[in-house]
Each structure stands twice: as C-alpha cells, then as structure tokens.
Amino acid sequence: MTPLKYVRPESIEQALEQLASGSALGGGTTLVPRRNSLETVVDLQGLGLADLEVSAGKVVAGAGCTLQQMIEAEGMIIEELAETCRREASWNLRNMATLAGAVLACDGRSPLVAALLAVGGKAVLAGGETLDLDELLDRRPLPTGTLVTALQWKAKASLRYEQVARTPADRPIVAVAIGHTDGSAHRVVLGGFGARPVRVPRAEKALAAEDLRSASEAAAEAYAQAGDVWASAEYRAHVAGVLVRRLAAELVTGAGKVRGPSEGKGRTPGEARDNVPSETKGKV
Ligand SMILES: Cc1cc2nc3c(=O)[nH]c(=O)nc-3n(C[C@H](O)[C@H](O)[C@H](O)COP(=O)(O)OP(=O)(O)OC[C@H]3O[C@@H](n4cnc5c(N)ncnc54)[C@H](O)[C@@H]3O)c2cc1C
C-alpha cells in the first residue's frame, strides 16, 4: 500500500496550497474507502469551518458542519431539513460526515441534497464565489484545488419531503422535495435515481399555476427513463407523479406558506410542520 501523506492546514491559504496536490478530507466516510488511490489528504478540521449560524436572514452552515450538528441545531434548521439529514445516514456516520462532503459525494439517492436544492441552497467557495447548489453539482468533479467553505440558504424556508424506500431507514427509490423561500416560487426536486437529485422546471411552472395534474405529469415524465436495479422506470415515474401531486395538494391548500419568525400562532395541522429559525448566531 502506498504511504498516505496526511496534512492538516490551519488557514484557508495553506489549505488551498495543499489542495493543489491533495484531496480534501471532510468526514472521510466516502474518501477512506478510496484510500488506495489517494496520495495526500488535506484534513479540513483545523480551518474552523464547522460553525452554523443564522444571520441577515440566511442560514450559513460551515462546510465542516457534521450532519448530526444540523439535527441538533434546534431552532436554526427547519425541522423538515433536519429530518433529511437524519435520513442521510446512521448516527455514527452522521457524526463524521460533513455537509460539504455529503453534497460533493452525493448521488441521486441523497435526501439531504434533494432538500437543499428545494430550499435554494448555495455553496460558497474559498475566494468568495457563491454559486447555486445546482451549478456546484454540475461542476463535479470539482477542479483540483477547489475548497467549499460553506453552504447557505434563506432562513425563511418551507419544505415538504416524502420518499418511498424499501424500509423506513433505507435510502429512497423515489424522493420528492418541494420547497420555497421568502419571495421565491416553489422548487420541485426529484431524487432516488441517477447521479444527483434534479429539479423539474415544468412541474414548478405548473405548481405556480396551481395546476396539480400537470405538475404530477411533469414529474412522472421526468422519471420516464429512470430505471435501474432498484426499480423500473415505470414504477419510479408513477410514484414520482403520486408524491408530487400529494405534496402539491398540501401546498395549494395553504400548508406550505412561508412564515416570519413571529408568526407562529393559529397554524392549521398542516402548517404546524413549518417553522422558521430564529435569528441566532454562534456555534452549535
Ligand atoms: C455506507 C455508506 C453508504 C452511502 N450511501 C449513499 C447513497 O446511497 N447516496 C448518497 O448520495 N450518498 C451515500 N453515502 C454518502 C454519504 O452521505 C457521504 O459519505 C458523506 O455524507 C460524505 O461526507 P464526508 O464529510 O465524510 O466526505 P468525505 O469522504 O470527507 O469527502 C467526500 C468528497 O468531498 C470532497 N470534499 C469534502 N469536503 C470538501 C470541501 N469542504 N471542499 C471541497 N471538497 C470537499 C472530498 O475530497 C471527497 O471527494 C454513503 C456513505 C456511506 C459510508
């Protein structure tokens, strides 16, 4: 086995230099099994990228936040998003796996990435560039030397997520996340197949017109070729259509309204699943 060089930079500048010839090490849950193909790993833990804060109307989660940290950040992360972190991996893995690692290593079966796309997540790169999560996923594999420092999304977010899997704890065969943030239209995301969860613009347009049937048909069509060893395309297309129609119906009846932090009273049972993080700063 080739000896592995391990470095642990203490600053972003140092990390960027070392990433020119090494692989970023978040929690290592994806990287470690590839150990034989690695020469140098750059452990990001010394960079102070594990803070989670709500500031200026945004949730800003450091790239090094663990998935478990997101779950334990009571009041900062909306409940539905925290739930998708829980679905991402078991407790042991969630304590190691980082937010950036989960996004960069994801395939279509990632509940968390489907949810982050639905709430309009953005990635911040070292150097200051901010890009939509959609674009970050399209850029994978990232060019050598790229360092994600944080992920962010608007604090006033609303999310609905449903999945069908072999067991309640398994990864989805079909997942649907529908979300929106203050002032935005609904984003409809399908997961459970392929290289990454995908947005379905036609379903989004139909939902904006409250045309649930067309939203459902657009989702089914988006998965019309989505067959693999886990499920046939016919099955996925059908389930995607059903889940979109179900979640969209909840939204159209008012259960998916975005609320401000002070608007907590008088919720309908459906609305009770929404909540908005309070303006909070600091580590979790
Ligand atoms: C048994 C098992 C099953 C899994 N099944 C699935 C599955 O079915 N679908 C799915 O989507 N995921 C799956 N995962 C992935 C899981 O969600 C990820 O392993 C985990 O979240 C990755 O996080 P990490 O911090 O450990 O990443 P690491 O392993 O540390 O890194 C993952 C990748 O991201 C890069 N990276 C990490 N942080 C940064 C950064 N800040 N900037 C730039 N690059 C960075 C690394 O160089 C590496 O290429 C599975 C994982 C395990 C262990």
Q: Give distance in angstroms: CA of 35 to centre of ligand 1.
A: 13
Q: Measuring from atom 47 of ligand 1, which residue has the nearest CA?
A: 24
**What pLDDT score was predicted for residue 255?**
60
> Which atom, in ligand 1's list, is nearest to the CA of 25?
30
Cα atoms in the 13 Å half-sphere on the side-chain side of 227: 6
Provide DSSP, 191-202. Answer: ESSSSS-EE-HH
Q: Give distance in angstroms: CA of 68 to centre of ligand 1.
A: 14
Amino acid identity for residue 227 in this structure? G
Q: Measuring from atom 46 of ligand 1, which residue has the nearest CA?
A: 24
**What pLDDT score was predicted for residue 32?**
86
> Which atom, in ligand 1's list, is nearest to the CA of 67?
21
Q: Give distance in angstroms: CA of 100 to centre of ligand 1.
A: 8
Q: Measuring from atom 3 of ligand 1, which residue has the nearest CA?
A: 89
> Which atom, in ligand 1's list, is nearest to the CA of 63?
41
**What pLDDT score was predicted for residue 272?**
29
**8 A C-beta contact, residue 166 and residue 31:** no
What is the end-to-end Cα distance of the chain in Å, rounded? 39
**What pLDDT score was predicted for residue 270?**
32
**pLDDT (tens digit, 9 = 90+) per residue, 23-76?**
999 999 999 888 888 999 999 999 999 999 999 999 999 999 999 999 999 889
**What pLDDT score was predicted for residue 276?**
34
**What pLDDT score was predicted for residue 151?**
98
> Which atom, in ligand 1's list, is nearest to the CA of 113?
11
Cα separations in angstroms, 97 against 66, 126, 239: 5, 20, 30
Q: Say if residue 194 is exposed, middle or buried (CB neighbours under 10 Å; 0-12, 13-18, 19+).
A: middle
Output the pTM of the full model.
0.90
Q: How many residues does this entry show for the chain?
A: 284
Domains and CATH numbers, the chain: 1-47 (3.30.43.10), 48-260 (3.30.465.10)
**What pLDDT score was predicted for residue 24?**
97
**What pLDDT score was predicted for residue 267?**
28
**pLDDT (tens digit, 9 = 90+) per residue, 247-257?**
999 887 776 55
In this structure, the residues whose C-beta lies within 6 A of any atom of ligand 1 are 23-31, 44, 63, 88-89, 93, 96-98, 100-102, 104-107, 109-110, 146-148, 171
Residue stretches of the chain with pLDDT short of 70:
255-284
Q: Give distance in angstroms: CA of 212 to centre of ligand 1.
A: 35
**What pLDDT score was predicted for residue 257?**
52
**What pLDDT score was predicted for residue 279?**
38
